[in-house]
Amino acid sequence: MVDTKYFAVKMLMGAIQYAATQLAEMDPAFKKKLAGIDSITQWKVEPNGPNSYTIVKNSKIENKMDAIHEKPTFTISLKDLSVGLDLFQGKIDAAKAMSEGKITIQGDANAAMKQMFILEDLAVYLEDIVRR
């Protein structure tokens, strides 16, 4: 039996990160916004993943699925798979989820805030898929 929730969260996590990589290549305005950012974002879904990290550097985005980075700039932890599903589908507001403790950020919170626009910008492009 496939754990459909885990499967869905992993696919969405990977797809969104792939989309970010692609958007950085295709959209000059988005690429421009990435200028000056040099960070490693670790994504964790408690308690058992999926986990992945994203590197933003030189206006490019790279991703690694099923991986934990030794020294991320910050780590975004999602309380469970349901929070992952809701967040990646745009069903919950990230700021509200943080205030409720569903999403926690460890490490450099300023850096995290500075690149929040990445998910927001992507949502516009992905609404057909992730907003169901």
Partner 1 sequence: MSVKEILATKVMVYMMGKGLEELSKVDDEFKEEIEDFEAVLQWNIGDTIKMYIQFEEGKVTSFLDAEHAEPTTTFVVEDYAKAREILSGEVDGTSAYMSGDLKMTGDMQAGMRMGQLAEFLQEALSELLS
> Which residues 6+ apart lie within 8 Å of 109 measured at CB?
74
Q: How far apart are CA 100 and CA 107, in angstroms?
A: 19
Are the beta carbons of 29 and 46 closer than 8 angstroms?
no
Between 71 and 132, name the residue whose CB sits nearer to partner 1: 132
Find the binding residues for partner 1 in span 61-120 (CB under 8 A).
Answer: 85, 89
Cβ-based nearer residue to partner 1, 30 or 74 = 30
Would you state the structure tokens that stand for residue 85, as one six-digit string?
A: 């599903």
Q: Is 129 in the site for partner 1 (CB under 8 A)?
A: yes
Which member of 4, 35, 70, 71 binds partner 1 (CB under 8 A)? 4
Beta strand 39-45 pairing with 74-78: parallel
Stretch that binds partner 1, among 3-11, 55-63, 93-101, 106-114 (CB under 8 A): 3-11
Q: How far apart are alpha carbons 100 and 123 in whole angstroms?
A: 22
Interacting residues toward partner 1 by CB under 8 A:
2-5, 7-8, 10-12, 14-16, 18-19, 22-23, 26-27, 85, 89, 124-126, 128-129, 132
